[in-house]
Amino acid sequence: MKAIETINLSFTYPDGTKALENVNLTIEKGEKVAILGPNGAGKSTLIYHFNGLLMPTSGKVKVLGREVSKENIDFIRQKVGLVFQNPDDQVFAPTVFQDVAFGPINLGLPEDEVKRRVKWALEVMELNEVEDKPPHRLSHGQKKRVAIAGVLAMHPEIIALDEPTANLDPKAVSKILELLLKLNKELNATLIIATHDVDFVPLCSDKVCILNRGELILEGSPGEVFSNTEKLRRMDLRLPRIGHLFEILKVRDNLPIENPLPLTIGEARREIHRLIKHKTSINNDL
Amino acid sequence: MQGHYLELYADHLGDTIIYKLDPRVKLICAITAIIAVLFTPHWQIAMLFLASTLIAVAIYKIPLRLFMRRMLYPTYIIAVISAIQPFTYGATLIYKTPLFSLPIYLEGLHFSFLIFTRCMAAIAVLNLLVITTPVMDIMRALAWFRVPSVLLDTALLMFRYIFVLSDEAERIHRAQEARCGYSQKLSYLRRLRNFGTLFGVLLVRSYERAVKVGNAMISRGYKGERLFVLKEAGIPLRHVLYGVVIFTAIILLILIEWILL
């Protein structure tokens, strides 16, 4: 089933800036999709459409088969959780518990259910210990997790995150990654991740969409997308570091690296093992 | 983060009764005390309240530095207001200043001292309340007393964002300082202008943030109703009794004041 579908989606800001042009994108349920693009490519604008925060200037956006409109906006906002780039923009309540409870209360749920959901969301995001703390006492990474817990408590089927790794230290990035993958695997949540963190993309996604100047340029698995090296570089993007290393080994050093290029440590390890075996078998033949 | 100054209460008080006393009881007692102090015609009564507060600070080992620091800014304002009084009010002239020959009146002087002690006592009581009670508890108590939710929502948002804003101000200030924005070589006016820029930038950023926070709220289904649900459980009987004792003591004091003084 299609989680999100955009049909000829275009959006122009009131000041005349064209942010999106004819974007046709389909995201299936349970997929992990990275929307990659340089600054100002329209990534945030695009994901704001999924939650009905922005309405298309022309074209359509469908969420779980229903077209986003003012009439079904409550349904849309319950189904698509939006996590903003800066958690201070999102986590506004005086305590963590109250902030996570905000969404469920807006859904009109009874008090017991609100409490149950908050407890659950905090547990999933591993935040039980800080539930009574004021947000200003938390680290940036913890605040980010509170922001995710805040949308999780609304039981969304789709979670769209705007630059989830921005301003986080390496440990916090690993934690966020681990939790996002858990959400996808255990709750079958569809993840949409808008980012320009190229190294994060192959780790968090099984599909990549490249957005540049409001247009969808490339779409496919990380391996497919990152094999278009020239195109990516023209858009001020680059390969993940590991992919870049293997590109150099292949092009400059003529090593028999297979396509697609390895992009993660795991893929690189497998490829190195294959190369070693390959070399040993040649030596044995000789 | 600026830490302890903005950290609005002393949360190490733990098990002491002043910390654990039901916030509703504390609120009622504090408000009664403040009203009593503000309407007393005798500075001695105001001093009595001020002294009681300071004794409480000493008994419960509330950090005196924190307490005094938070008294500082209101004291400036009260001092200015009190300082004007002797020149403006009364009939008995006691002195004329050599410069501008301003008259100082005895009644004005008395009134000035009365205002000063009243305000200081009222602020000390309020300060004691705020230092010994987490903000959320005070807000819940206020909600229990049916204070309109729009006021409480606004207060809680302010409480949340005062930290974010102070961080932001500090960052901007540091960025200005790093490029000699407050260098002693600059004229006072120039430095003042840079400080003005800081506030201008802060205002614009606050506005931008308000829009973003609003968007984030809308995206979680907010439609303009009250933001926070504040609920309070029942008051333990023991706390009600404490409250009655303090309340009666204050009322008795006022009655004695009326009859005897």
ipTM of the complex: 0.76
**Considering its fold, how many domains does chain B have in total?**
2
CA distance A169 to chain B (A): 18
Positions in chain B whose pLDDT score sits under 70: 1-14, 261
* Of residues B156, B222, B223, nearest to A94 (C-beta): B156
Question: Residues A218-228: pLDDT tens digits?
Answer: 999 999 999 99
**SS3 sequence, chain B?**
CCHHHCCCCCCCCCCCHHHHCCHHHHHHHHHHHHHHHHHCCCHHHHHHHHHHHHHHHHHCCCCHHHHHHHHHHHHHHHHHHHHHHHHHCCCCEEEECCCCCCEEEHHHHHHHHHHHHHHHHHHHHHHHHHHHCCHHHHHHHHHHCCCCHHHHHHHHHHHHHHHHHHHHHHHHHHHHHHCCCCCCCCCHHHHHHHHHHHHHHHHHHHHHHHHHHHHHHHHCCCCCCCCCCCCCCCCCHHHHHHHHHHHHHHHHHHHHHHHHC
CA distance A167 to chain B (A): 15
pLDDT of res. B4: 42
Closest residue in B to A96 (Cα) is B160
Average pLDDT over residues A172-180: 94
Residue B225 lies in a domain: no
pLDDT of res. B3: 47
* Of residues A48, A102, A134, nearest to B220 (C-beta): A102
Same domain, B114 and B168: no
pLDDT of res. B7: 56
Is the CB of A150 less than 8 angstroms away from the CB of B156? no
Residue B72 lies in a domain: yes
Residue B226 lies in a domain: no
Mean pLDDT score of chain A: 93
Residue B255 lies in a domain: yes
pLDDT of res. B9: 60
Does domain A2-222 fall into CATH 3.10.20.30? no
Same domain, B74 and B196: no
Same domain, B88 and B215: no
Is the CB of B209 less than 8 angstroms away from the CB of A94? no
* H-helix or E-strand spanning residue A3: strand A2-12
User: A14 vs B183, which has greater pLDDT?
Assistant: A14
Average pLDDT over residues A253-271: 92
User: A237 vs B16, which has greater pLDDT?
Assistant: A237
Residues of B in contact with A95 (CB under 8 A): 136
Domain residue limits at B168: 149-219
CA distance A88 to chain B (A): 7
d(CA B256, CA B142): 30
Residue B114 lies in a domain: yes
Residue ranges of chain A assigned to CATH 3.40.50.300: 2-222
Closest residue in A to B162 (Cα) is A136
Is the CB of A93 less than 8 angstroms away from the CB of B159? no
Same domain, B63 and B159: no
Q: Is the pLDDT of residue A70 over 80?
A: yes
pLDDT level of residue A63 (50, 70, 90 thresholds): very high
Question: Residues B124-180: pLDDT tens digits?
Answer: 999 999 888 888 888 889 998 999 989 999 998 988 888 888 888 988 888 888 887
Q: Is the pLDDT of residue A161 over 90?
A: yes
CA distance B67 to chain A (A): 21
Is the CB of B223 less than 8 angstroms away from the CB of A106? yes
Residues of B in contact with A77 (CB under 8 A): 218-221
Is the CB of B221 less than 8 angstroms away from the CB of A78? yes
Residue B227 lies in a domain: no
Same domain, B167 and B248: no
Predicted TM-score (pTM) of this structure: 0.80
Closest residue in A to B155 (Cα) is A94
